[in-house]
Amino acid sequence: MSEPIPVVRLSGDVDLARAPALREELMTAVNNRHEGLVVDLTGADYLDSAGVNVLFEVAEELQRHQLGMALVIPPDSIVEKVVTLVDLGSVAPVERDVEAALAHIRG
């Protein structure tokens, strides 16, 4: 039986200064007893290329372990523009709220 899907809520700037700790935070939040991970970016004000790279890396690492990752991103935000531009949705589905992201991972 799997454990409840963890939700990591990020706020403020998701940037180069935060990238190493962020990767560690996300990877330790989930294990093989989970179905996946939800990353809630509704509180994030800014997402730079280092933050994007961490999200890509974590999503790909989880996929290698047959775990899902979904993102929660508010519409019409700067974060949504960045995520769309870099096509982060190609490795982690983008949802509007945590419940929809959880449902997506549960399949």
Calpha distance 44→28 (Å, rounded): 20
Tokens of 34: 């989970």
Enumerate the domain spans of the chain.
7-106
Q: For domain 7-106, say whether CATH 3.30.2290.10 is its number.
A: no
Provide the pLDDT for residue 3.
83
User: Average pLDDT of 73-79?
Assistant: 94
What's the pTM value of the predicted model, to 2 decimals?
0.96
Alpha helix stretches (DSSP H) within the chain: 19-29, 49-64, 78-86, 98-106
User: Average pLDDT of 15-29?
Assistant: 96
Provide the pLDDT for residue 1.
53
